[in-house]
Copies of this chain bind each other. A is one copy, B any other.
Amino acid sequence: MVKEQSEPALADEDQLSLDLIDAQYALKDTQDQPNAKSVLVLVSGIELAGKGEAVKQLREWMDPRYLRVKADAPEMFNNTQPFWLPYARFIPAEGQIAVMFGNWYGDLLTTALHVSQPLDETLYDEYVDNMRAYEQDLKNNHVDVIKIWFDLSWKSLQKRLDNMDASELHWHKLHGLNWRNKKQYDRLQKLRQRFTEDWIIIDCEDEKSRDQQFAKHVLRALKHCPEHVKSAQHKWKQADIPAVLQQPPVEKIDKNEYKLELDKLTRKVADALRFGERNVIIALEGMDAAGKGGAIKRIVKSLDPREYEIYSIAAPEKHELRHPYLWRFWNKLQPNERISIFDRTWYGRVLVERVEGFASDVEWQRAFEEINRFEKDLSDSQTVVVKIWLSISKDEQYTRFKEREKTPHKRFKITSEDWRNREKWDEYLHAAADMFERTNTDYAPWYIIANDDKYSARLEILRSILKQLKAD
């Protein structure tokens, strides 16, 4: 625990302001550079300790155009979205700084203190672990996170409450806690100590010192130059390539039988997808021309477009590259988006970005765990994740490429890039093999489906969706 010495000497405020602005501009200049980073400041604390005042003061000392303050009243967890989802779109882009108060810790405390059945300690600590893991992922992806707790003794809190006027008191009451209740205060302190071990604690008895301490910690974070490690320490242990990828088995099926079964299965899938209050994410991956588009067509056959959204993932835009690579997927998730279908996914990080060298060794090697956590957080919040890899043989890809080239209205699907990727066929197979070995989890297993014969594959795709939805 980092605890400030009480009563530090007051700094020259103008100098502090100048240093903050200089650091802010230096941060801004890192944008699109190799050492780029952003700074996220999480703020929580005792009511009336003065975090609001400290943030206002910070805003005056800095250039307010480049300091985003996101402040919301805490909300209770409702289990239908990961704790980070309401905040993810405000995670600052490279070169930016954001102060969030309103954040996942505030929500956790509110949830723990408010529900008639309080969170049990194991679950509470699990949340804290998940939050720390999420923050570590942010840091690894160039978002520096600092966490600052504004503390105030019971005695001072009571004194400040005595001095408030009615309308302010009224507003503060809206936040739902009774700050006159010593037991609740003690409980809050006990609870927050379960997560503030790696926080900066600011003692808020003295207002001036409080604001300056806060600003100095922000300054330190702005100036901190993390080294973006690019190369991995250890030699990578390559997984074996599964047989189904090397030579996908071809299972021919009778055309009439196929049609009957397809019709039955598309309806069954539609029913299963509609069932219940959960969300469903269907993630499709595979080599070029593996048949992802055709698969989607059959999945949504008996659905109305108002029931689902399809995301066709192309290369990231420039402004998206200023964020952690998962960010553009966080932003596509909405708590009430019932059915989302991804034509290519976040696995691009460990496939194309690995093979083409857009992600460094250490980045793609770390990504497996990051992706697992991402999917775990989703499946823990009523989202079923169905991951499908469509496997075709190299010969079949050649046939389909040639077919596309011959057909004018399909020619857009085949570019010189596809031919270039094809030359790296084995590298992609290796990448896929590693991906299966490391992201084939209980909660989000991979369904590898041989697709040289489209007909049997389509049925298999529908069956695997039913299986993952436990509707088979």
Cβ-closest chain B residue relative to A54: B305
Task: Select which of B14, B52, B306 is within 8 A of A71 by beta carbon.
Answer: B306
Binds B, one of A249-257, A312-320, A460-468: A312-320
Within A53-75, which residues are at the interface with B (CB < 8 Å)?
55-56, 59-61, 63-65, 69-73
- Give bound CA distance, A319 to B221, whole Å: 29
Task: Select which of B56, B64, B171, B413 is within 8 A of A274 by beta carbon.
Answer: B171
A15-B409, A25-B412, A60-B297 as given contacts; A52 in contact with B304, CB under 8 Å: yes
Within A163-208, which residues are at the interface with B (CB < 8 Å)?
165, 167-168, 171-172
Cβ-closest chain B residue relative to A294: B60
- CB–CB B409/A65 < 8 A: no
| Distance to closest chain B CB from A216 (angstroms) | 15
- Give bound CA distance, A18 to B409, whole Å: 4
Q: Judge if A435 is at the interface, Cβ distance under 8 Å.
A: no
- CB–CB A343/B64 < 8 A: yes
Q: Judge if A335 is at the interface, Cβ distance under 8 Å.
A: no
A interface size (C-beta, 8 A): 52
Q: Judge if A76 is at the interface, Cβ distance under 8 Å.
A: no
- Give bound CA distance, A413 to B413, whole Å: 51
Q: Judge if A371 is at the interface, Cβ distance under 8 Å.
A: no
- CB–CB A167/B271 < 8 A: yes
How many chain copies?
2
Cβ-closest chain B residue relative to A64: B312
With a cutoff of 8 Å between Cβ atoms, the chain B residues found around residue A168 in the complex are: 270, 302
- Give bound CA distance, A180 to B25, whole Å: 65
A64-B293, A65-B314 as given contacts; A306 in contact with B73, CB under 8 Å: yes
Task: Select which of B18, B55, B270, B318 is within 8 A of A167 by beta carbon.
Answer: B270
- CB–CB A14/B407 < 8 A: yes
With a cutoff of 8 Å between Cβ atoms, the chain B residues found around residue A72 in the complex are: 306
Q: Judge if A217 is at the interface, Cβ distance under 8 Å.
A: no
- Pick from A14, A60, A172, A304 the residue with the most CB of B within 10 Å: A304
- Give bound CA distance, A304 to B73, whole Å: 10
| Distance to closest chain B CB from A403 (angstroms) | 13
**With A64-B312, A101-B305 already in contact, 16 other A-B pairs whose C-beta atoms are closer than 8 Å:** A14-B408, A14-B409, A52-B305, A56-B297, A63-B413, A65-B314, A69-B310, A71-B304, A71-B305, A71-B309, A167-B267, A167-B271, A167-B274, A171-B274, A318-B318, A318-B319
